[in-house]
Amino acid sequence: MADANSPDIVYTIVDEAPELASASLLPIVQSFASAAGVTVGTKDISLAGRIIATFPEYLSEEQRIPDDLALLGELVKTPEANVIKLPNISASVPQLVAAIKELQGQGYALPDYPEEPATDAEKAVRAKYDGIKGSAVNPVLREGNSDRRAAGAVKAFAQANPHRMGAWVADSKTRVASMSGNDFRANEVSATLPAATTARIVLETASGETVLKEGVSYPAGTVVDATFMSAAALSEFLAAEIENTKAEGTLFSLHMKATMMKVSDPIIFGHAVKAWLAPVFEAYGDKMADLGVNPNSGMGDLLARVEGDADIMAAIDACTADRPPMYMVDSDRGITNLHVPSDVIIDASMPALIRGGGKGWGPDGKESDTNCVIPDTSYAPVYDETIKFFKENGALNPATAGTVQNVGLMAQKAEEYGSHPTTFEIAEAGTVKMILEDGTVLHSHAVEAGDIWRSASARKAPIEDWVNLAIDRQAATGYRAIFWLDASRAHDAELIKYVTPILEAKGVADKFEIMAPREATRASLETITKGDSTIAITGNVLRDYLTDLFPILELATSAKMLSIVKLMNGGGLFETGAGGSAPKHVQQFVAENHLRWDSLGEFCALGESFNFLAAAKDNAKAGVLGAAVDVATQGVLNNDRSPQRKPGQPDNRASHYWFARYWAEALAAQDADADMAAHFAPIATALAEAESTILAELLQNAGQAVDQGGYYHADRSRVAAFMRPSATLNAIIG
């Protein structure tokens, strides 16, 4: 049970642009909520906060903080949970190292990240840091499945004010390239366990047996997968695609998710770096290794380590000159697609490219057609089919398009996103076996040195909850509903064995379709092109990918999505959209004191959180707050009060003023609670009368550089001063 003194709503402390915005928005939320007797507290799940909480033994008493992620992990298992979860950094190794260095510079005596741990102490430190990197937060908090959709007001606004789409032409050279075999998709095996058991994972070689993992526990009914990607096949594929890109005259781009797939994808990324610089590694591989080069960390880290060696730098320049042009993250600054593993995140990069008509930015600062390299074929067909559809039919029209909602299986670390502890880079050729406690060999693969082997699982209770959530969503909307499951894929075939009987038992089998991802992609695009809507019922990775792809096509952004996680024990987790654009917004804020981050996702989550609290705790005043949030959100949209692009124009802080004003006006006008109406009437009046003064105060330092005292661990007092510059607004809000 939750602590009796715990807040009614927990608002997460995170990173980058969402956290800057919170410094402005959260005081407004807490002030308005307090008028209804609702408390809004915070828990720190930021990257810096998680690092500090993990190493208390290195820090002074004043520097130590509680492990808020662990505390929230317990809270979300209770019926009392009501958590608003903002996007946090899922750190790649370079981001983790940068955060550690920043904290060390601030006086935190943290240990360095051991790139190659040799001693037991270094291995222990490395294990702790590895528990922080990648998607360490979401699997802990997501004790329920996902219901993501565009809020009605947001969708209506997008149709009335359609965003600009790039033009698609039939002869576009843009395409998706994937391996023809020997990848995770091709090598996957899967089984459903009839009884609870534990398993150990071993590598049997000519020199003996190595235990990779033991004591992996599974309840009855768990779907357990195993698969591997051949390193040799991957290297051959990457080398071929570099040459194909050059011949086609397009940009080379790699699209991965090294943040969520924090073990496998950095390794794949490293293979791409080695393939790109193959002649350099052949000539200087040993020397670069001595300099600490790890290709998994990207070209940026590699160049920083070898920049003092003229021979290696000359070889890199010669190699680059012979390669095709590369897709750029930032062409002005020379940041390439292969610079940092976390810079190109597939679910953000691919939709942006597709929205732009298949064009990517090249090193010359111009747009070009692109070879989109997605090595594994598990989900690449979604993007491949989308590109083919738009080549045939032209770009989507946001003014008339329907919507794709999503019901996603993600509870209890479901599927690939929960595979980190059971993913391994194979050190020696042999056979990997998953052996159950009774001696049964569940899965077995013959592997070579360098292959990437992994196991993932999905438990029975989350699967059943997911299917029932889909049934509820379809009944509520009447939309076309499609399970994105491929009967020819081992894992999906096991899920279908759960899905079909539940649909038949509920008498709703005729309301659902089951399609492989490629076919489901085309069916969904055909549906929304006609102006109709559909529900994509997917596994965890597709949940992540599709809730960026379709919102970016429909709304221009995924940050405005309504994301509700119905926790399996009765609580609620309300997510606020994607944070893929957050770093760029911080760069602009630091350079120009202008924050473009749009808090619309936070507004949507806030309304749902209050509504949930009203129902769960029979709190009528919370319901009044929630209803008024919806009115305020509509007001922000209808009156175009979202942040604008340039310094001197209204930014995130101005949008919060308007949200507060519309919220106060809605509360003052409602007749469900006279006391709240009386409380907010003078606030609404004061906000309206002080409009010009407040907006002028919010813009008083526009265009000036900002020193927030750190990127990962900013000085909160400085941030508060920058993000709450209107003394008039602060006095009214309190």
* Residues in Cβ contact with 346 at an 8 Å cutoff, skipping those fewer than 6 apart: 255, 256, 257, 374, 545
Report pLDDT for 1: 41
Structural contact between residues 141 and 100, judged by C-beta atoms closer than 8 angstroms? no
Measured distance CA(248)–CA(236) in Å, rounded: 18
Q: How far apart are the first and last CA of the chain?
A: 32
Report pLDDT for 579: 63
Structure tokens at 647: 């310094």
Q: What is the pLDDT of residues 365-396, one digit of tens each?
A: 999 999 999 999 999 999 999 999 999 999 99
Specify the length of the chain in residues.
734
The answer to pTM > 0.75 is yes
Nearest to 373 by CA among 506, 240, 491: 240
Q: What is the pLDDT of residues 435-465, one digit of tens each?
A: 999 999 999 999 999 999 999 999 999 999 9
Phi-psi region of 415 (alpha: psi -120 to 50; beta: other; left: phi over 0): left
Phi-psi region of 445 (alpha: psi -120 to 50; beta: other; left: phi over 0): beta
156 exposed, middle or buried (CB, 10 Å; 0-12, 13-18, 19+)? middle
Q: CA 50, 51, 52, 58 torsion: positive or negative?
A: positive
Report pLDDT for 578: 66
Tell me which residues of the chain have a pLDDT lower than 70.
Answer: 1-5, 577-580
Query: Which amino acid does the sequence have at 281?
Result: F
Q: What is the pLDDT of residues 493-514, one digit of tens each?
A: 999 999 999 999 999 999 999 9
Report pLDDT for 239: 98
